[in-house]
Each structure stands twice: as structure tokens, then as C-alpha cells.
A and B are shown apart, each in its own frame.
Chain A
Amino acid sequence: MPGSTQIPYRKSSWWKLNQQRLTPWIFLFPGLVLFLVYVIWPIFNSLYISLLQWDGLSPAIYVGFSNYIELLDDEYFYISLINNIKWLIFFMLAVPIGLGLAIFLNQTIFGIRLIKSLFFFPFVISQVVIGIIFAWFYNPRGVIGPFLEAIGLGNYAILADEDFATYGIIFAGIYPQIAYCMILYLTGLNNLNTDQIEAGRMDGAKGLSLFKNIILPQLRPATFLAIVVTVIGSLRSFDMVAIMTQGGPWGSTNVLAYYMFETALSEYGYRMGYGSAIAAVLFTIMMFYILFFIYRMYKSEKKGL
């Protein structure tokens, strides 16, 4: 055994007897405590705060579910919720587009490795930078503006258009997400079972039918992961909104993540309770996916044991 040392055997010392049982807890202790304090406890604390009326400074007043009841009448809450659904739907496009790109790039020609990494670039870069770039692109005096003017559309600014601004942001948000899905699928394509494909080809499977019946089932794990990260990415859409529009014009690009921040921590007021109620809604939506993910992992764990 490389590196193993003989430790003199001390008979029946308490530590020796309990070592196996205690060691995992000693190793878990620092990480687990930090995680409980900073991640798990705050979840429950937030759920509690959502029942309060509190500005963060003066004493909090317990108000029961009235924050949630107020939400039901809040126009901006609905706008945010609908925008979240738009994000979710359009973000899903990143999965097939990423798959398409991966298939397109899955060749062995000179320099392909570099090309793949360059395609992956947008994911490595901060969303703040991507947001700044796209905001500038959309600016009437930026990149697309002069182009639109040239074809006679005047100085149209998508981010100032109540009806379409959200799509402008989603488009920017999808860009790095496609790169992420692409890399997941590239790995998946790399690990395909060659025998099965050859057998399929021998049986005359070609093009679409080969893809549907043999390739896609083998890519299931990649698809699963791509969908999970894309759903989570779409619900976490904060950075882009904060950089590109700050929820405007007139709240039309708000999403729950940003609206919550705005309610609780911005010049619009310090309504901690109301903000927490919004966060709780977002959390409930996300929990649905988390449980789905964990259920799948749990099943594969059981199989593995």
C-alpha cells in the first residue's frame, strides 16, 4: 500500500473503538455547519419572514398570510410570473439548439478542439458582460440600431419597447445557455456506444430514424442534465435583467428573481416580508424541479447500492 503507515495498535482505547463511527462526523462538521447556517436555515427563516411586515429595522409585525394575499392583487407580480414562464419556454430552445451545434461540431478535422472551445466561450464569460454587450447591440446608437435605420425601421430600441423588451433579454440569456447545452451534448456524443450505432446502420437505419431510435436514447443522461440546468438557469434570470433593463420599461421585464430584489432591497422600499413572499413562490416552483432531480438521483443510488 503506497503511503500507508503502521500505527502502533493501542488496545481498547476509546478512540480506537469508536473511530469508524465518529470519523465521518468529524469530517462533515465544518462543511455541514456552514451549509446549515448559510443555506438551510435561511430557507426556513425566509418562509417565516414572509409572514411578517418588516422593513428590516423597526420591529416586525406578524401579519399571517396577508403578504401572499396582497400578491394575488399585485399586477407586477403577475407580469413577473408571466415573464418567468416566457423565460422558461424560450430557454428550453437552448437544449435542441445546443444539441444541433454539438452534432454539427462532432467531427475530427484540424483545429476542431480550438473551435469547440471558442464556441463554448460565451458560457465562461460573466453574464454581466454578456448583458452589457447585448444592451449595446440593441441600443439605437449601437449595433442593430443603425442597421434597422438603414432598412427603414427607424431607431427602434427593443429594450425600450414594453411588449418586446423581455424577448430581447431572453435572447441574450439563451446565448451562454446554448453553449452549456452544447458542451453537455458533445460529451454525450463522445460516449456513444459505437457497436449499437454500427448495428443500427447495418439494419439500414439512417438519418432521422437512426437519430431518433439509437442516438437520442443514448443521449438521455445529457438531455436530462441539459434540461435541469436550463430550467434552473431560466428561473435564476437575475443578472441579465439587472444589467439590461432593471425591470423596466414600467416593470415589463421584471421576473420573480428581480422583482423580489427590487421590493426588498432597492429604492422602491425595504419590504422584507413582501419580498420573502415572492421568494417563497419562486422557491416553490424551483422545489418541484429539485425534488424531481433528487428523486432520480435517489433511484440511481438505490440501484448502485
Chain B
Amino acid sequence: MFPIPIQKRPLINQISYRVLIPISLLIWLIPLIGIMLTSIRGLGDIAQGNLWGVPSEFLLFSNLKDVFQNTPMLSYIMNSFKITIPTMIGAVALSCMTGFALASYRFKANLFIFFTFIAGNFVPFQILMIPVRDLTYQMGLYDTVTGLVLFHVAFQTGFCTLFMRNFIKALPNELFEAARIDGTSEFNIFLKIVLPLTRPAIAALSVLIFTFIWNDFFWATVLIQGHHAMPITAGLKSLNGQWISAYHLLSAGSIMAAIPPVIMFFLMQKHFISGLTLGASKG
């Protein structure tokens, strides 16, 4: 155990540690607490500079109502779901297959393909931007949810393949061999043996992809123009321009944008972290 467990320290250290923890947490979260406090305030408080004190009125619901009535916020949120969920399903499904292929078969191009997926996953978005925008345009999918989803699925397949391949590779190979000797077809090995065993990996990838895509801003800016298909990140940016000083409304909107990934994270914390820290404990 490192550092030495606090319980083995003198009492005075134990007490100060327990005091220090909530204080440091409070300081760490000041930005987030600030935005939550602001979202319940009215314009009056903000104009008077009452940002940290007790709000003079509790206006969270009226602020939220304002946001939903006067902006396309609801449509932004729906679009975010329409973009995020299909991407999540698509990328995870494709990478189960690619990951299986790269993990359990030996063929010449295997490592090369694997490293292509990894390398592609790290390139700066800007080097893809113009051709991807062009391609989407030519397919008639510019400014549509479908166009954005297609790109997201393709790009996320890189990361997901890396993850899936390593996960399947770590499964005991004897399982597949035994099944083959039994005469099980390769497809049934995939469906009946591999898929059930990769459930934890599927869960980890799903939450990660959900968060990545929900929070994507760049591609939403590049491939979407109109409010009809805009996800919440790009929507917030356009509201940011309109409401220069309406911070109570902007914070209410920001909170709406933050809630889904936060909930996802809390529900699937273990999977989320195991996905992110891939390789941090070994290798």
C-alpha cells in the first residue's frame, strides 16, 4: 500500500486528512459548483454580483423553462441522443468483429492492420477534416445526423478495435481450440463463445463511446450547420454567442449538456475506468 494507510498515522494526521479531503474537493469543484449556483439564480443576482451568496430567488425551473421554450435546446438534446446511441452501437458492433479477427487468427497482415487502426485513432482531426467534409457532402449527407454518425462510427472503430482485440487476446485460447475440435464453425465460435465473454469489454466501450461522442464538438461543427441536426455541444456554442451575459440561462443549458454523461459515468463507473485506464496496470 502506498502511501502508508492514514489509519497507521498519528491521530492528528488522521483528523487533518479527513478535514483536508472535503476542503480540497470543494476547491477542485469550484467551477462546477459555480455553474450550478448560477443556474438557479435570476438576472438580478448576477447583475448585482451576488454569485456565491444565497440566491435571492430560486429560479432553476424557470431558467430551465426559459431555455427550453426560447431555444431549440430540446431538439439539441434529442439530436445528441440520435447521434450518440447509433454511434455507440455501430462502433462496438464493428469492433467486436474486427477485434475478434485480429485477436484469434494468424495471418500475414494481422499486426499491420492492427497498428493501422491504432495510428489512425491518434491522428489530429484537422488532417481528416476537408476530405471527410467533402465525402459527406458528395454522399448527400452533409448537415444530417446520419452523415455525422457514419464518420463517428468509422473513427471510433479504431479505438474500439484496439480495446477489443487486446481483451479477446487475453481470453484463454484453449476455449476456441476445443470448440474447433468439436466442429463448431468459426461464426458460432464468435457468436456463442467470444461474444458472451466480451460483455465487460462491450460495457466499458459503450460508456466510453457514449461520453466521447456526446461531448464531441469539432465534428459537429464541421459536418452540421443547421439547428435541426445540431447536437448540444454545438448548440451551446451558438447560444453562447447569443447570450453574452445571460449566464443564468447558459448555465442551465450547460447543466443539461453535462447530465447525461455524468449519469452514465456514475452508473457504469467501474467499466468506464477500466476502459480509460486500458494498459495502465500492465504493459
- Residue positions of A touching B, CB distance < 8 A: 1, 3-7, 9, 19-21, 23-25, 27-28, 30-32, 34-35, 37-43, 45-47, 49, 56, 103-109, 112, 115, 117-122, 124-130, 132-137, 141-143, 146, 175, 180, 183-184, 187-192, 194, 197, 210-211, 215, 221-222, 224-225, 232, 235-236, 238-239, 242-243, 256-257, 260-261, 264-265, 272, 275-276, 278-280, 282-283, 286-287, 289-290, 293-294, 297-298, 300-301
* Closest chain B CB from A265 CB (angstroms): 7
Main secondary structure of the interface of B (DSSP, over half): helix
- When distances are taken between beta carbons in the complex, the residues of chain A under 8 Å from B132 are 38, 42
Partner of B2, one of A130, A192, A260, A294: A192
Cα–Cα distance between A300 and B169 once the two chains are bound (Å): 14
Cα–Cα distance between A294 and B123 once the two chains are bound (Å): 13
Partner of A261, one of B6, B126, B151, B184: B126
Chain A: CB-nearest residue to B196:
A3
- When distances are taken between beta carbons in the complex, the residues of chain A under 8 Å from B134 are 56
Contact A236 B124 (CB under 8 A): yes
Cα–Cα distance between A41 and B98 once the two chains are bound (Å): 19
With A43-B123, A117-B269, A264-B130 as given contacts, are A24 and B105 in contact (CB-CB < 8 Å)?
yes
Partner of A49, one of B7, B125, B131, B281: B131
- When distances are taken between beta carbons in the complex, the residues of chain A under 8 Å from B277 are 183-184, 187, 222, 225
Instruction: Name, among B2, B125, B132, B186, the residue most crowded by chain A CB atoms within 10 Å (CB to CB).
Output: B2
Partner of A282, one of B118, B126, B158, B261: B126
Contact B115 A28 (CB under 8 A): no
Cα–Cα distance between A199 and B127 once the two chains are bound (Å): 51
B74: interface (CB < 8 Å):
no
With A38-B135, A38-B151, A46-B130 as given contacts, are A31 and B123 in contact (CB-CB < 8 Å)?
no
- Residue positions of B touching A, CB distance < 8 A: 1-3, 5-7, 17-18, 21-22, 24-25, 28-29, 31-32, 34-35, 38, 49, 51, 94-95, 97-98, 100-102, 104-105, 107, 110-111, 113, 115-120, 122-135, 150-151, 153-155, 157-158, 161, 175, 178-179, 182-188, 190, 192-193, 196, 211, 214-215, 217-218, 221-222, 233, 236-237, 240, 245, 247, 250-251, 254, 257-258, 261-262, 265-266, 269, 273, 276-283
Cα–Cα distance between A43 and B35 once the two chains are bound (Å): 39
Main secondary structure of the interface of A (DSSP, over half): helix
Show 24 residue pairs from A and B whose CB-CB distance is below 8 angstroms, ordered by the A residue.
A6-B183, A24-B104, A27-B98, A27-B100, A108-B5, A109-B18, A120-B265, A124-B265, A125-B258, A128-B215, A128-B257, A136-B251, A184-B276, A192-B2, A197-B2, A210-B2, A221-B283, A222-B280, A222-B281, A225-B279, A238-B125, A242-B221, A294-B118, A294-B119
Partner of B25, one of A115, A225, A275: A115
Contact B217 A128 (CB under 8 A): yes
Cα–Cα distance between A43 and B41 once the two chains are bound (Å): 48
Chain B: CB-nearest residue to A222:
B280
Contact B184 A5 (CB under 8 A): yes
- When distances are taken between beta carbons in the complex, the residues of chain B under 8 Å from A46 are 127-131
Contact A35 B245 (CB under 8 A): no
Partner of B1, one of A4, A27, A142, A197: A197
- When distances are taken between beta carbons in the complex, the residues of chain A under 8 Å from B215 are 125-128
* Closest chain B CB from A168 CB (angstroms): 13
Contact B6 A265 (CB under 8 A): no
Partner of A275, one of B7, B17, B101, B130: B130
- When distances are taken between beta carbons in the complex, the residues of chain B under 8 Å from A119 are 25, 28
Contact B281 A21 (CB under 8 A): no
Partner of B101, one of A3, A27, A235, A301: A27
Contact A132 B281 (CB under 8 A): no
Cα–Cα distance between A77 and B78 once the two chains are bound (Å): 38
Contact B262 A124 (CB under 8 A): yes
- When distances are taken between beta carbons in the complex, the residues of chain A under 8 Å from B101 are 23-25, 27-28
